[in-house]
Structure 1
Amino acid sequence: MTAFHREDIQQAAAAAALAAPGVAGLQPALADRLALAATRVHHAMTAGAASHHEVAGIRCRHTPEGGWAVEVRCILHADRRVVDVARQVREDVRNAVTACLTQRGAVRPVTVQVTVTRTV
């Protein structure tokens, strides 16, 4: 697993989630915000060293079974049913990440967890 692959998966997941009807945006967790701030400080101090950039609202990790677990934190429009939008996001993100992995010849099982942080 390389940072390049992780970033590709995060980008594919974010694009799929944002394209789902009813999604207003993605919300990073507080831990993600703190990690991003720490990464920026570390990057500034190492001046040019390769860094790992998290995509807001998307976390992914390699599972012990050899697959990928993707967590999506999203903000939804209040005029939509939360359960319907969450199901759509889960399916769209799973399909997008699977397609991303297939393009690289690395087909792996993908699980997606969607958390709705708020509605607007």
Structure 2
Amino acid sequence: MTADAAGVARAAASATLAVPGVVGLQPSLGQSLAAAAGRVGHSRGSRPAAPAKGVHAERTPGSGAWRVEVRCVLDGEHRALDTARRVRESVRSAVVSHTARHGAAGPVTVLVTVTRITGR
């Protein structure tokens, strides 16, 4: 059994949401459009797999490296830089563990984008 991008994205999403100061994940425009298209397809009888909204994971062909992008909303009561760093490390650790369990280990790069800060 090998790790796939959807499984890596789910592991990254869970790790992100477990970090104190993270309010939620923010889907990218592409994910929002894909979800809307999926709802149309679902109403016609097909059911696409639901990706982890706010997370995009892909494996680089040839090198086997994983690139994970996380878009998150943070709580204004926490320092954004510290929270983003904790998200990066938590996601990296979760993805390394997930891919190792599924025989798809490789270098992991995590990009964290803070899309909004709430509260205060």
TM-score normalised by structure 2 residue count = 0.86
Single out whichever of 64-73 and 78-87 deviates more from structure 2: 64-73
Q: Deviation per CA, 1:28-79: give whole Å up to 9, x if none.
A: 122210011113333554x346x34221110111124221110000000001
Number of the residue aligned with 1:89: 87
* Count of residue correspondences: 116
Q: Could you list the runs of 4 or more consecutive aligned residues of structure 1 that deviate by over 6 angstroms after TM superposition?
A: none
- Give identity over the alignment, percent: 47
C-alpha distance in structure 2 between counterparts of 1:43 and 1:109, whole Å = 36
The match for 1:111 is: 109
The CA deviation at 1:92 is 0.3
Distance (Å, rounded) in 2 between the aligned partners of 1:71 and 1:43: 27
Q: Calculate the aligned-residue CA RMSD, in Å.
A: 1.8
Counterparts of 1:6 and 1:41, CA distance in 2? 23
- How high is the TM-score relative to the length of structure 1? 0.86
